[in-house]
Structures are given as structure tokens and as C-alpha cells.
Structure 1
Amino acid sequence: MRPDLAARHGQERLPRYTSYPTAPHFSAAVGADVYGQWLRAIPHDASASLYFHIPFCRAMCWYCGCNTSVARRAEPLAVYAAALRAEIEHVSGKIGRGVRIDHIHFGGGTPTIMAPETFVDLMGSIRNSFSLSPEAEIAVEIDPRTLAPDMIDALAGGGVNRASLGVQSFDPAVQRAINRMQGFDETAAAVDGLRQAGIGGINFDLIYGLPHQTVASCLDTVRQSLDLRPDRLSVFGYAHVPAFKKHQRKIDDASLPDSLERHHQAEAISGALIAAGYLQVGLDHFALPDDAMALARQAGTLRRNFQGYTTDASDILLGFGASAIGRLPQGYVQNQVHTRAYQQSIAGDKLATARGYALTDDDRLRAEIIERIMCDFGVDLDPICARHGVDPETMLNALPRLRTLIADGIVACDGASLSVADDSRFLVRSVAAAFDAHLDGAARLHSRAV
């Protein structure tokens, strides 16, 4: 890493580009009526993916940037799941059963704190309302501290075949600072229980840049994680935005590593995982060589959506639950953020869409370019611009950010083909941002580039 580049570009706050345009640009101009029209326009032979947001946890982790709240009783989750089932019925009624579902993801929050029978009922509603592919990937996010054996049985019985476990850090000092005490043994017990139940796809989520975290503690977390040999690991930089996430104010700013230390931590984790036989996938994912994500990276078919890097090839993502975001060919939609408002909308027998964004032709062009940069660390503009009827040279000449990146040696340009230098890949979000026509005005909502 060149420290001068980290100092010059690493402090800028940029999106993670899990969508383009990003969520801060959504507005109430796209609401329930528009979403209903978009749903009815889905071809009956299309493929789609489903995302279910479960905004509840047993306790609040202070680093968390998700839309979630604390629920210590089963009743709020049961009421919420009933709203999800009603939303499933409402949405499926507009698109019919012919649409094939290839991916399902349960995110949170902590989806697995719902009662096992509640999850079974929810999966039953999904199967009754949609046509699930026999090979569908069904994934769920899990907090190992709260995963009970009967819930493991319910997950397996429901067809779950991939589990994403939050680890973050095994360092007790870091865990105390983020209000998440989680021992290695309970994590190992969760992994063993899932594998014994036949849920073979195991992902770990790690975070660097946390309070009191060091390169040494990051490497110790990696070492312990490798003992459990997950198929994939996601390695994210902590996004400290206490102005928007009030619980993050419990974290002492002085305990956070600076940008250079954050980069050293990310590099150390990456080096250790690669040395252990994992392939780096995009900016922040790692997978065993025979994993579907590693194979997609090598084949050039890797995609990016709201869960990060993915093998999901569908252009239709239907979001269910409070704050859930969906993507359709026409644009993006997002449900009511607050759980009560979401449930009231569903109880009124209407879609809970609160805002969204209708894509323009220019948005579609830039979204495709940004996705390839984020997935491949480079892009050939010629075929993409040809598909969108745009001259690549004209586009390149209108990108002052890109000219700066080329001058700094971060990007190499050969005609209309761009590639990110190997020693500058940590700045891939800065490269993607060069094509972002909506970037100005939303920087305070995003995390630092490094």
C-alpha cells in the first residue's frame, strides 16, 4: 500500500455500492402504487430472489449499522412474522406463481431468534406462494450466541442450506467495547450443529477497525476462524456514524484505529486468509477455491447486491419486511423503515412501500459499470457503452475524478479498458465513485474509503 494514496483518498466517505444509485437518493415519488405496477409487469417466466428483513435482536451490539431493535419476548416476532406472511400473499398475488425463486436470504437483526414454529410457518407461506427452484439457495444470518438446537432443526427442515454467522472479533477487549461477548466455543458449537443438520454452506462475518482492535488481534481472530474452516468470509470495515446510529455513541472515538491502521488490519486479514487457501473475491469477501462464489469470480459472473457480493444472477429482488429494499428492472423500492408503520400498512391490505427510485438510462449504464469495477477491479467500457448507445470516449472525458485516479497511478487506462492497480485495490470504491453521478451531497451517510 502507498501511504500517500491512503492519505489522499482514504478519508473520503463513499458508498459501498451494493446498489446504484444508493439508498439516500430514494424518494417518496416511488410508492406503493408504482411498486404494484412494477410487480404486475414481471414476466411469468422470470426468475427472482427474495429478501426477508427481521429487525429484532436479543441485545444491541454497539457497532451495529442495521435497522434493528431489541426484542426479549417471542410475541413481537410472531406478530411481525404474521405481517410478513400477509405481505408474501399480497406480492405473490400480483406476480403469480410462475416466477421462479432461485435465492432466499433472511437478514436482520437476528432472524434465528424467532420461534422455530414461526420460521416453519413462514417457510410454508413462501413455498405456497412462490415456485422455489429445487436448487434454490436459502440463506440465513445467525448470531451464534442465541442459536438453539430446535432452531437448527427448523432451519434444516425449511431447506436452509447456507448460514452466515456473525463473528466480528474473538478478542475479549474488543467484544467488551462493542457489547458483544461471544466465545469461540459457542461459535464452534453453532457451526458443528449446523453441519450435523446438513447445512453445509458456512459463512463468517469479520470486522476490522473496531475499538481497541489491532493487527495482532485481527490475526488471532482469523486463526481461530480457520480452525472452523468456513466456506466464505466477509471482512468489512467498521462504519462509525454515531450521528445516525445513536448506540454507536457508546463507542469511544479515541479507541478507534485511524485509516492507516485500518488498512494494515485489512491487509493482514487478507494475507492470512489467502495464505490459508482462500481466494479473494472482490473487495471484502474470501472463499474456498471450489465455492460457488470463487468460481463466479473466476468466470466473470460475480454480482453485487444489498447483501454484498453474490452469485445471484437475477435482476429481480423482492424485499419483505420493515426497511427491506427490492430491485426490479424499473428501479428500487423500500418498505416503511419503522416496524409499526410497516405492520400498519400490511394490516391495511396494501403494500408497505415508502420510497424508491425509478432508474434512468444513464443510471443503468453507470450501475453496470460500477458493478463490474466492484466485482472485477476493472471494466471494458466498449461493450457496456455499446449496449447503452453511449460513446465511451465521450464518457471518459467527462470524468474528472477518474483523471485524478489515473494520474495517481491507481487506475490504468488502455483505450476504453480500465483496471485498478494491484497495490490500489483497497481504493476500488474510489474508482467506482468516479462514475457516480449522484455522489455529491450524501457523503456524511457513508463510511470512509479506507
Structure 2
Amino acid sequence: MQRAGEQITGTVPATRYSEAVPRYTSYPTAPHFHAGIGAETFRGWLQQTGSSDDVSLYVHIPFCDRLCWFCACHTKMTRRYEPVAAFLDALLSEIKTVGNVLDGNGRIRALHFGGGSPTMLRPEDVLRLGAALKDAFNFADDAEISVELDPNDMDDARFDAFAAIGMTRASLGVQDFDPKVQTAINREQTFEQTRGVVDGVRARGVHSVNLDLLYGLPHQTLESVADTIRQALTLSPDRIALFGYAHVPWFKKHQTMIDEAFLPGPEERFAQQQETARIIREAGYEVIGLDHFAKPDDPLAVAAREGRLFRNFQGYTEDACRTLIGLGPSSVSRLPQGYAQNTPATANYERIVSEGGLATARGIALSEEDQARAWVIERLMCDFAFSGEEAIRLFGECGRRIVSEARQADEEAGLVEDGGTFSLRDEARPLVRSTAALFDQYLKRGGARHSAAV
């Protein structure tokens, strides 16, 4: 194993793998949103949606029946259903309000249920929620509907309810199958449970299954995480998301329950990432960006090959919609004009939307400079490259400044220019977040802290 500061591969020093940088699911990133963007601004942005504009929806369910210690999502644990039922009533009010503001404009091409645990909803409430969304918005006939599933919640009635509202993709949180690791992160889930859910959704016609896996967890070793990957592959998932555990206890206090003494160091994390990625590739999956994999015929793999890959708060996607509307507390909406985020406090959210208001608490309007840098960062994150000529064509003087910055980047950035295109060397690709950060004008403003680069 390499010591800190030694080379891991090529010309990349090991110390860079522990650099703290954003994940770049947006630009500017969420720490730079501000209270100057409120409900009226968001309402005005929504009203500019055209009748034929493609739109995506994200619905956030902020409850779990257990708290996984690794989780950095906005959620709270409850054993009672009453708070969930009260929240659902408020969510239905928000759906109606946003639908009225759009006034029939926009065509929904994708809907994603996340959390928290959407599967905490009772089957009859899943059906209520699905009906409310269809009543409020104009759905395309071929809209993709994806749901994050907790295998511990699933039963036949929930399988049937999500199938009834049109679920086309199921995403299962697995993390790791090793019982010792599961105990350390408070996420006990057997392989048999996971296999049962995969079989259950496929039996109901769901055409795509994604598995979320983590490396860098406490007690994981190179051998144990490889075993988890091999078990996951026996389920033949259509997609795999392989994330590095983000240890951010200053942001999520429950992560203090994880004993840092058992977390792998940066060299071990990198070795885990490299070994697991190798196993997945050798099983026939194509690499999608930094941390996703897909079967060659999956739409995500096709989009990546054709240069149509995008990145949003759910990760890599083939969804090209410029407008994404977030519903529920803490949800972020992304529109051509900027970002708008709902208040994260569930009680405050429920009060505002129950009175017919929009719960926008903060956001950021995009300048031309922001749009140019967002485009470059997204292309780097998706393609490990960007065209300098296209940057200038799209963004003029802003594009020229960014091209000049790319040419001045130091060798460790890993950027190589060839025929006007800036590409990352292969050995620098695991550090694409660090390279993207070179074009982030906000990064040094304020005191935001981030997770490790790998």
C-alpha cells in the first residue's frame, strides 16, 4: 500500500484523493444558494415554462422508519404513520399549487420519488399521490417513473401500488452485504431481501433496476467490498451506482455514530474504487462518468456513447429536461433561470404549502458566467472532456476566459488539449471532481466543507 504523498497511478499524487471538493450535481453548488431567491421569484420562473417544454419532477419523502448512519439525505426517523400522513396532505397541496402556476404548460418526461424512503408510504397513499400528480401535470405517454426502494419496507401491496402508478425504474439501496459493515452503519439488509425486491419489481413489468453500492464504509476491506459487488452482479442489475461514502459529520450529526477509527484511508478507498470498478467492467457493464455503470443496451449507456449524458441531483441521467421541479421539503428545482430550494424544515414547509403558498426559501439566479461554467463542469463530469470551440460558440467571451484557464491549469489537473478539445488523462479521471473545481468561481467563498474527492 502506498504511503501518503506517494504516487498511486501515473502522475497523480495520493494526497489528492483526500481533497475536499463538491460532487457537482449542480453549479453553483447548494452552499452558495441564498435567501434572495424566494417564492415570488420561483413563481415567475415557473410561469415562463412553455407549453411544449420538457419537465422533470422530483418528489421528496422526508421520512424513514430507521436512520442509516451513513446517510447524508434530508430525512427524519419516525415509527408512527401520523406524521407521514400529515406531510402527504401538505405535499398534495403543493402539487396542486405548482400545477396551477404552470397552468397546463410543460410536459413531464421523468418523475423520481426519493427521500428518505418513499416506500414508507402506505399503498393507498402511493395511489393518492400518483393520482394527484397525474391530475396536476401533463405527463408524456412514455414518461419514466423511478422510485427509490428500501427492501425492508416492501410487501406485495406496495409492489402493486408502485406498479399501478407506472413505475418504470426501481433503485435499491444496497450499500454493502457484509453483516459487520451493515451493523456499523445501522443498515441491516440481507441479500435474500434484496433479491426478493428485484424479483418483485421485475415480475410487475419494471424494465430497469438500479443498485446503489458504497465503498469507503467502516470495516470494509478490498476483499469484502469485492464480495459485495460479485453478489450484486448475480442479480443482473441494469445499472449500478458505486459511490464513495461521504463522511460529513459536521453536516449530518448522526454520522458521528460511525467510528472513524474503522474508516479506510484515502489509499484504501482508492484501491476499493478501482477494484470494484474493474469487477463491474469485466462483467460487461459500461462505465458512465465517475461512478455509474450500465449494461450496453441500457438508455444511460447509449446516451453516454452518443454524448447525451447529463448530471443532476439524482446523479447521471439521460434526462435532457432543462426544467426540473422539486416537490417536498429541501427539494431543489432547477430552471433555465436558476435554482430554487424549498425550506428543509418539514413543519415550516407543511404550514406554507397548506396555505396555498410556495415553500421556496433560497436559491440562486444564473449569470451568463454561471451558465458557461456549469456547462464546462457538467461536460467534464459526464465526458471527461469539453470542446473549447463549443464553449466559445455557446458563451462567447465567458467561454474564452474558461478556455484560457484550462490552458493554464497545472499538470496535476490532468487536462490535455488536442485539436481544441480539453480531455482528462485516464489516470486523472478518478479526480474529475478536483479538475472541475478549477472552474468553480464560488468554491473559495464562504466556509462550505465537502467530502473527499475519491
1:331 match: 338
2:5 match: none
Summarize the alignment of residues 315-354 of structure 1 with structure 2, pairs less than 5 Å apart: 315-354=322-361
1:369 match: 376
Q: Provide the rounded CA distance (Å) in 1 between the counterparts of 2:301 and 2:418.
A: 27
- Per-residue CA deviations over 1:179-204 (Å, capped at 9, x if unaligned) read 11111001111111111111121000
2:28 match: 21
- Per-residue CA deviations over 1:131-179 (Å, capped at 9, x if unaligned) read 1111100000011111111000000011011010000000111101001
2:451 to 442, 447, 450: 447
TM-score w.r.t. the length of structure 2 is: 0.96
From the superposition, tell whether residues 147 and 412 of structure 1 become closer, same or farther in structure 2 (CA, over 3 Å). Answer: same
Q: Provide the rounded CA distance (Å) in 2 between the counterparts of 1:373 and 1:71.
A: 40
Summarize the alignment of residues 245-284 of structure 1 with structure 2, pairs less than 5 Å apart: 245-284=252-291
1:124 match: 131
1:6: how far off? 4.1
2:427 to 423, 428, 432: 423
Q: Does 169-178 or 391-400 show the bigger shift?
A: 391-400
Q: Provide the rounded CA distance (Å) in 2 between the counterparts of 1:50 and 1:6.
A: 41
Instruction: Give the AA of the match of 1:195.
Output: R
- Per-residue CA deviations over 1:42-63 (Å, capped at 9, x if unaligned) read 1122110000000111100100
1:37: how far off? 0.8
Q: Provide the rounded CA distance (Å) in 2 between the counterparts of 1:168 and 1:398.
A: 38
Equivalent residues of 2:24, 2:433 under 8 A apart: yes
Q: Provide the rounded CA distance (Å) in 2 between the counterparts of 1:87 and 1:132.
A: 17
Q: Provide the rounded CA distance (Å) in 2 between the counterparts of 1:290 and 1:341.
A: 44
SS at match of 2:202: helix
1:85 matched to 2:110? The reply is no
Q: Provide the rounded CA distance (Å) in 2 between the counterparts of 1:22 and 1:394.
A: 21
- Per-residue CA deviations over 1:353-379 (Å, capped at 9, x if unaligned) read 000100000000011111111000111
1:416: how far off? 3.4
TM-score w.r.t. the length of structure 1 is: 0.97
Instruction: Give the AA of the match of 1:24.
Output: P
Instruction: Give the AA of the match of 2:102.
Output: I
1:349: how far off? 1.4
**Unaligned stretches of 5+ in structure 2?**
1-7
Instruction: Give the AA of the match of 2:152.
Output: R
Equivalent residues of 1:21, 1:367 under 8 A apart: yes
Equivalent residues of 2:406, 2:415 under 8 A apart: no
1:389: how far off? 1.5
From the superposition, tell whether residues 42 and 146 of structure 1 become closer, same or farther in structure 2 (CA, over 3 Å). Answer: same
1:155 to 158, 162, 176: 162
Q: Provide the rounded CA distance (Å) in 2 between the counterparts of 1:446 and 1:47.
A: 32
Equivalent residues of 1:13, 1:446 under 8 A apart: yes
1:72: how far off? 1.3
Q: Does 146-155 or 378-387 show the bigger shift?
A: 378-387
From the superposition, tell whether residues 394 and 194 of structure 1 become closer, same or farther in structure 2 (CA, over 3 Å). Answer: closer
Equivalent residues of 1:365, 1:385 under 8 A apart: no
- Per-residue CA deviations over 1:243-293 (Å, capped at 9, x if unaligned) read 111110011111100111001001111000000000000000000000000
Q: Provide the rounded CA distance (Å) in 2 between the counterparts of 1:245 and 1:6.
A: 30
SS at match of 1:105: strand
1:191 to 188, 194, 198: 198
Runs of 4+ in 1 over 4 A off after TM superposition: none
Q: Provide the rounded CA distance (Å) in 1 between the counterparts of 2:399 and 2:60.
A: 39
Q: Does 137-146 or 382-391 show the bigger shift?
A: 382-391
1:81: how far off? 1.2
2:218 match: 211
SS at match of 1:107: strand
1:436 to 428, 435, 440: 440
Q: Does 13-22 or 36-45 show the bigger shift?
A: 36-45
Equivalent residues of 1:112, 1:151 under 8 A apart: yes
Instruction: Give the AA of the match of 2:375.
Output: E
2:409 to 403, 406, 412: 403
**Unaligned stretches of 5+ in structure 1?**
none
1:169 to 176, 186, 198: 176
- Per-residue CA deviations over 1:87-138 (Å, capped at 9, x if unaligned) read 1110111112231100000000110111011110010011111111111000
Q: Provide the rounded CA distance (Å) in 2 between the counterparts of 1:32 and 1:365.
A: 26
1:384: how far off? 2.2
2:307 match: 300
Percent of matched pairs sharing the same residue: 46
From the superposition, tell whether residues 144 and 443 of structure 1 become closer, same or farther in structure 2 (CA, over 3 Å). Answer: farther
Instruction: Give the AA of the match of 1:235.
Output: L
- Per-residue CA deviations over 1:370-424 (Å, capped at 9, x if unaligned) read 1111000111121122111126554333469x622xx237221235311011122
Instruction: Give the AA of the match of 1:207.
Output: L
SS at match of 2:42: helix
Instruction: Give the AA of the match of 1:446.
Output: H
Instruction: Give the AA of the match of 2:198.
Output: V
1:239 matched to 2:243? The reply is no
From the superposition, tell whether residues 199 and 140 of structure 1 become closer, same or farther in structure 2 (CA, over 3 Å). Answer: same
Across the aligned residues of Structure 1 and Structure 2, the Cα RMSD in angstroms comes to 1.5
- Per-residue CA deviations over 1:195-253 (Å, capped at 9, x if unaligned) read 11111210000000000111111110011101111100000001111111111001111
1:31 match: 38
1:2 to 5, 9, 12: 9
1:75 match: 82
